[in-house]
Structure 1
């Protein structure tokens, strides 16, 4: 018997386009990637591309909302929720990222930082989305530091400013690692952040 079931999967096509765009934007840049290349990467027709994303800007917004924000959530926010305190979480996050990049033998950079550097000055809506992802990341770190202080695990530092420092240090180290194609800056950043936090934390 012939199966006459519809095989159309518009949502699957949309996801495939976003996945292809995310990979391209992270590895080679948003501005350097054209829509024709993205069509070829996603293996979709021009009609399908135009239906889901009439312009590259629409696709850029979707990538930030659906992929970049999720990458930050999985990489940073979820481990912060799982670990006993912020220093433990931060060290684990660095260990995981360094291990993945070492195995991959390639550094494409922080997806959020890559997009922020390219789009923030050119598009207000993209800038607002990128800023919201940074804000969620900062809020999660700050909240973890605040919880540590309340639990008397930490003292002598400002949770909000320390969260800013961690994000800035990680983003800068990742940019250096991308430029050098070497995880050395991430190793250095991990060690120095661990030492700084250890100096401010009172372990029971």
Structure 2
């Protein structure tokens, strides 16, 4: 009798479930997505799903901590940390987002914003996890502004409140773009943010 080597990869199965859930939660919503639907999309058994995520809430937390946090890190925080010009970096980030949305032909919205609006009031742990992502994003922006003040690139700004304003403006524009399925609100937001920062960095 030939013994077959075990090919099961629990981490790969978990990633598949989280990936499927992330896509579903962002596009159709956390509350509207069923676990049976996710099992089918991820092509996993009920036993595998229950092993990794006994409850939908645990899957929601994994999506927030693994995928939503990663999306904000890769899209906003990393480019900000490595850029030499803060206003140019912000403009470039939004340009890339608009380009990707235009290529996709649809606007699913900001993953962080989508989850925050839908689940924060229902679950304290999810609210805390989502708040931590917003906090990291805000601190990354504020850190750049503080550094620019130190280097005398800009003077008349309040780094923390300006960081809050930029995130709020972008998030609102993304919500409007999702509602209209049109990137125009993001384009307008980008132009106004660029003009604001240009006046501060002049």
TM-score by length of 2: 0.98
Q: CA contact under 8 A between 1:112 and 1:130: conserved in structure 2?
A: yes
Quote how far apart the aligned CAs of 1:102 are: 0.5
Quote how far apart the aligned CAs of 1:83 are: 1.2
Tell me what 1:111 maps to. 111
Quote how far apart the aligned CAs of 1:157 are: 1.1
Tell me what 1:176 maps to. 176
Matched, 1:29 2:43: no
Tell me what 1:131 maps to. 131
For 2:145 and 2:65, locate their aligned partners in 1 and report how far apart those are by CA, in whole Å.
26
| Moved beyond 6 Å, runs of 4+ | none
- Segments of structure 1 that go 5 or more residues without pairing to the other structure are none
Cα root mean square deviation, aligned: 0.9
Aligned pairs, number:
201
Q: For residue 154 of structure 2, give the secondary structure of its aligned residue in structure 1.
A: coil
Quote how far apart the aligned CAs of 1:5 are: 2.1
TM-score by length of 1: 0.97
Quote how far apart the aligned CAs of 1:3 are: 7.6
For 2:198 and 2:28, locate their aligned partners in 1 and report how far apart those are by CA, in whole Å.
37
Q: Residue deviations 1:86-127, cap 9 Å, x none?
A: 211100001100000001110000000000001110000000
Q: Residue deviations 1:19-63, cap 9 Å, x none?
A: 000000000000000101111110100000000001100000000
Tell me what 2:145 maps to. 145
Quote how far apart the aligned CAs of 1:4 are: 2.7
Q: CA contact under 8 A between 1:85 and 1:144: conserved in structure 2?
A: no
Q: How does 1:53-202 map to 2 (within 5 A)?
A: 53-202=53-202
